[in-house]
Chain A
Amino acid sequence: MSQTIEAPVRVERAETEEERDADRPWIVIVWNDPVNLMTYVTLVFQKLFGYSRAKAEHLMLQVHNEGKAVVSSGTREKAEYDVSRLHAHGLWATLQED
Chain B
Amino acid sequence: MTALPDGGYAVELGDAEREVLRRLAEELRELLTADDPAVARLFPAAYRDDPAASAEYEGLVRDGLLGGRLDALTRLDATAGAKRLSHADVEAWCGVLNDLRLVLGERLGVTEDLYEEDIDPRDPRAPELAVYGWLTWLQGEVVEALSTRLE
Question: Are B143 and A53 closer than 8 Å at their CB atoms?
Answer: no
Q: Does B134 contact A (CB under 8 A)?
A: no
Top 6 closest pairs, chain A to chain B, by CB: A35-B105, A90-B98, A84-B61, A34-B112, A39-B143, A40-B143
List the A side residues contacting B44 at CB < 8 Å: 87, 92-94
Measured as residues with beta carbon below 8 angstroms from the partner, the interface class of chain A is: 20 to 34
Question: Are B47 and A95 closer than 8 Å at their CB atoms?
Answer: yes
19 A–B contacts from the bound complex (CB under 8 Å):
A5-B60, A9-B56, A35-B105, A35-B110, A36-B98, A40-B143, A53-B151, A80-B46, A84-B64, A87-B65, A88-B68, A88-B95, A93-B44, A94-B45, A94-B46, A94-B47, A95-B47, A96-B48, A96-B49
Question: Are A94 and B111 closer than 8 Å at their CB atoms?
Answer: no
Interface of B is mostly: helix
Question: Are A40 and B139 closer than 8 Å at their CB atoms?
Answer: yes
Question: Are A34 and B150 closer than 8 Å at their CB atoms?
Answer: no
Q: How far does the Cβ of B146 sit from chain A's closest Cβ, in whole Å?
A: 6
A9 CB contact (under 8 Å) in B43, B53, B99: B53
Q: How far does the Cβ of A78 sit from chain B's closest Cβ, in whole Å?
A: 13
Q: Does B129 contact A (CB under 8 A)?
A: no
Known A88-B65, A94-B45; 8 more pairs at CB < 8 Å: A5-B56, A5-B60, A37-B143, A39-B143, A47-B150, A87-B42, A87-B61, A95-B47
